[in-house]
Structure 1
């Protein structure tokens, strides 16, 4: 059998591609801060925590990150620790690669006519806008990459710890439990590196308040997307067939103990 004829191989490629494009996209759209209340058409919610306060404003990247973590759990379910580690390092490399070439593109001398070409759209300096959108600060970039990798490794560990205790039951529990812990790490690490260690030098009260608010939002979003996890699971079982899906799940569950590779080797 040729490698790419195997449905499990095709599935892994599709999951990896979708995972990576979402991870990279989340980093680039994250420069936008949106108002949750205005988006939903509700009155502003004034929150207070640790002496800090504000409205429900989040980065646009938080819309996609819950999907990224669900994709992590899906790959974990069928391809185990090795599969998640592979796509996590691949995604981190692609994010770094994307930021590198975004930086290079910013440094290119803009055409004089292009700089003013969007004035009628309310953008007086296209180069400045381009640099502001694609040139996220170094500390935010570093914080995002470090938090992403740590969060992924934590997710892998917690997912398999829960699986070891519950067996094949309660897919929602290992997905939600691993996301609860990994999102906690991710939310606090990225803000600590970007805004406490970085030039902004946030006070600890602001850091803890904003990180807690971001974590709560991500967690609620992840819980709301649990049906998507089961929908993906059902689609994968139909695509692979019950026998092949069960084989992959069994191999993934024993990935820590030299389980057979899920892909065909002939």
Structure 2
């Protein structure tokens, strides 16, 4: 149960820091958060933890979920164009950080023990399996643009302020389903039997959806922030 309670605190910390980033820095804070989140989510995904009922999850799901929160907030406050710009910004950040760290890994470390241990740690965090890297990039690109488009449509269909929860969870539920499907299909192709693959896919999507639902009150709070230089 320790991991479950810590996971709840972990999620609340993510959402609270996201609100602070927006409160202190406005729209720029959202873009900065997306850039940070795309990098940290891919580092956290290396670590898996056990949850009750025999569920195994990766820590990156929570951080990755805040990217949807960020793009939905941009769409809600600043429009579809601003949200699409954020998606491109996150995609570039992901590509750039990946390329830079792959080059960094190519350097031969010093022969001393500390340098060798550091190299092993960096390999564990940033060493890429091409199949997983491709799955991550494709899933991010498709699902994020889909989320932006769906949110824009839902604004037209459910425009009332009190229908924000429909716009947020509706767009995210569909786009994260597509995200999980693309990632699991590409990353785990020919690696697992279908029953194992299906279990990974379903649990991944379930955790992402729970994170999305839990983020809704924070989106309501962020929408009410006012900034003299923006509003």
Which TM-score band applies after superposition, normalised by the shorter structure?
A: 0.7 to 0.9
Separation of aligned partners in 2, 1:20 and 1:74: 15
Aligned to 1:11: 26
- CA deviation profile, 1:207-266 (whole Å, cap 9, x unmatched): 22211111011101111121111111122xx3249xx64xxxxxxxxxxxxxxxxxxxxx
How many residues align? The count is: 206
**C-alpha contact 1:34 1:60 (8 A) present in aligned 2:** yes
More helix by share: 2
Q: CA deviation at 1:184?
A: 0.5
Moved over 6 A (4+): none
Q: CA deviation at 1:90?
A: 1.5
> Taking structure 1 as the reference length, what is the TM-score of the superposition?
0.72
Aligned to 2:22: none
Matched, 1:163 2:151: no
In terms of Rg, which structure is larger? 1
Separation of aligned partners in 1, 2:216 and 2:27: 21
Separation of aligned partners in 2, 1:132 and 1:239: 42
136-145 or 10-19: bigger deviation? 10-19
Aligned to 2:10: none
- Write the mapping of 1:152-231 to structure 2, written as runs, cut at 5 A: 152-169=144-161, 170-196=163-189, 201-231=191-221
Gaps of 5+ in 1: 1-9, 38-43, 46-54, 119-123, 246-266
**C-alpha contact 1:159 1:175 (8 A) present in aligned 2:** yes
SS at match of 1:225: helix
- CA deviation profile, 1:99-125 (whole Å, cap 9, x unmatched): 111111111001111xx228xxxxx84
Separation of aligned partners in 1, 2:37 and 2:122: 21
Gaps of 5+ in 2: 1-24
> Taking structure 2 as the reference length, what is the TM-score of the superposition?
0.82
Matched, 1:137 2:147: no
- CA deviation profile, 1:42-65 (whole Å, cap 9, x unmatched): xx41xxxxxxxxx22111111211
- Write the mapping of 1:1-266 to structure 2, written as runs, cut at 5 A: 11-35=26-50, 37=51, 44-45=52-53, 55-113=54-112, 116-117=113-114, 125-169=117-161, 170-196=163-189, 201-235=191-225, 238-240=226-228, 245=231
Query: Considering only aligned residues, what root-mean-square deviation do their CA atoms show, in Å?
Result: 1.9
Separation of aligned partners in 1, 2:128 and 2:46: 7
Separation of aligned partners in 1, 2:57 and 2:157: 35
Separation of aligned partners in 2, 1:97 and 1:150: 18
Q: CA deviation at 1:128?
A: 2.4
**C-alpha contact 2:49 2:59 (8 A) present in aligned 1:** yes
Q: CA deviation at 1:203?
A: 2.6
